[in-house]
Amino acid sequence: MSVMGKPILYSYWRSSCSWRVRIALNLKEIPYEIKPISLVKGGGEHHSNEFREINPMEQVPALHIDNHTLIESLNILLYLEETRPHRPLMPADPVKRARVREICEVIAAGIQPLQNLIVLVYVGEERKKEWAQHWITRGFTAVEKLLSSSAGKYCVGDEITLADCCLVPQIFNARRFHVDLRPFPTILRVDRNLENHPAFTAAHPNNQPDCPPEATK
């Protein structure tokens, strides 16, 4: 692999954490290749010995970039921001940066880990829908409150930030689990302002090379 080769994103079409990174790469206009890792085929390619060497957490995303493989989506977003300042996705002011990161972290630590696939499998078929709804609703209640003081057109003010890269995929998951989104008008407003943005559209699960044709019908 050449030093200057395109970054390789290990991604699954419906993974909200992979989606966060796809959005950021698109916004920053960083060309990249997708290496699809199926979370369902044969019990999940993320559990293979080969992929465990790439990410010992056995999950997507992982990003091979600058001759290193990085894991954990917020970490990857911050690495891109530190090394590719083109089209910044973080404000310059330290308090505003904190506002962006706290929305990211509520989603990435407070919501998504509780409703991801491996946890729902462990929770069991009977309880999984109610479980996912419970934790997404709890987290979105906090996000709505945070956005009520930070949001302009987007999560923090009128510029797209890493918080938007995290929020949009989480809204998709909320809809997938039939969460009632009516109590979250600010979340819905930000979502509407981003739904036709080309960087977000191109990163959408339905537009991924590994999206099964039946999913988009």
Percent of the chain that is helix, strand, coil (3-state, to 5)? 60, 10, 35
Burial of 63 (0-12, 13-18, 19+ CB in 10 A): buried
Between 79 and 201, whose beta carbon lies closer to a second copy? 79
Is residue 192 involved in binding a second copy (CB under 8 A)? no
Interaction of residue 181 with a second copy, rule CB under 8 A = no
CA nearest to 209, candidates 5, 47, 33, 46: 33
1-9, 26-34, 95-103, 151-159 -> range binding a second copy (CB under 8 A): 95-103
Q: Spell out, one character per residue from 131 to 150, where the chain touches a second copy: x when CB under 8 A holds, - when not.
A: x--x----x-xx--xx----
Q: Is 155 in the site for a second copy (CB under 8 A)?
A: no
Locate all alpha helices (DSSP H) within the chain, ordered by sequence: 16-27, 49-54, 73-83, 94-105, 112-115, 117-123, 128-150, 162-176, 185-194, 198-203
CA 108 to the chain's CA centroid = 8
Applying CB under 8 A, the span of 20-28, 64-72, 173-181, 194-202 interacting with a second copy comes to 64-72
Q: Which of 183, 189, 141, 139 is nearest to 164 (CA)?
A: 189
Segment near a second copy (CB under 8 A); pick from 41-49, 102-110, 177-185, 205-213 = 102-110
Residue 8's SS3 state is: strand
Give least dist CB 106 to a second copy, A. Answer: 6
Question: Which residues sit at the interface with a second copy, rule CB under 8 A?
Answer: 55-58, 66, 68, 70-72, 74-76, 78-79, 82-83, 94-95, 97-98, 101-102, 104-106, 108-110, 112-114, 119, 122, 131, 134, 139, 141-142, 145-146
